[in-house]
Amino acid sequence: MHHGSVVIIGYARVSTREQQLAMQIDALKSAGCTKILTDVASGAVSARPGLDLALDALGEGDTLVVWRLDRLGRSLSHLVSTVDDLAARGVFLRSLHEAIDTTTAA
């Protein structure tokens, strides 16, 4: 998707309804996310409509921000596949917990 300006989208996920999204959402807002999409799903569940919407909305030069990398993938192979797909599309990734930021050269 082509935009007039850079988009920073946050994605938050909790595995049960008892867990709170608020902490993740607050951290994503503080990180400058202009839009935040969420899912309530266990790691084993493959349907993640919030993540799908986030990935579809991101274009070259945009950034996806997650609180922790394990929020992004339901398995290590799914995580690697998602990160590879983002990189191939020119989308940057930031993980707040692991201090990963592909928008910088370091």
Q: How far is 91 from 88, CA to CA, in rounded Å? A: 8
| pLDDT at res. 67 | 92
Range of the domain at 44: 8-96
- To the query of whether residue 15 is one of the catalytic residues in this protein, the response is yes
Residues 6+ apart with CB under 8 A from 75: 43
| pLDDT at res. 105 | 66
Q: Is 92 inside a domain boundary?
A: yes
Ranges of residues in the chain whose predicted pLDDT is under 50: 1-2
Q: Is 12 inside a domain boundary?
A: yes
Q: Is 39 inside a domain boundary?
A: yes
Q: In angstroms, what CA-CA distances link 27 with 57, 66, 81?
A: 21, 9, 25
Return the CATH number at 29. Answer: 3.40.50.1390
Q: Is 79 inside a domain boundary?
A: yes
| pLDDT at res. 26 | 95
Domain count, the chain: 1
| pLDDT at res. 1 | 46
| pLDDT at res. 32 | 96
Q: Is 104 inside a domain boundary?
A: no
Q: Is 106 inside a domain boundary?
A: no
| pLDDT at res. 47 | 78
| pLDDT at res. 89 | 95
Q: Is 103 inside a domain boundary?
A: no
Q: Is 23 inside a domain boundary?
A: yes
Which position among 5, 15, 30, 77 bears the catalytic label? 15
